[in-house]
Amino acid sequence: MVIKGLVLVLLLAVLASLFAGLFFLLRDGSHEKRTVRALTVRIVLSVLLFALIMIGFQSVLGVGR
């Protein structure tokens, strides 16, 4: 149950970072530093989300064995 909550929180954080990057891209046309930072955060959060999902699958598969 804890993993599901963490997955949901990370998914919402990825979406928030995605929209922040879009906002910075549209707002700061020539200053892309904030856009790059927001997209870097999104990539890191996506990797963490993927790792957490893999850990969740491993824990479910390991219970039956």
Provide the residue type at 12 as one letter.
Answer: L
Report domain extents, the chain.
2-59
- Going from the C-alpha of 6 to that of each of 28, 35, 44, 45, 63, the distances in angstroms are 32, 25, 15, 11, 20
Cα-based distances in Å from 45 to 5, 27, 31, 39: 15, 23, 23, 10
Residue type, 41: V
**What pLDDT does 2 receive?**
82
pTM: 0.79
Q: What is the pLDDT of residues 2-30, one digit of tens each?
A: 888 899 999 999 999 999 988 888 887 66
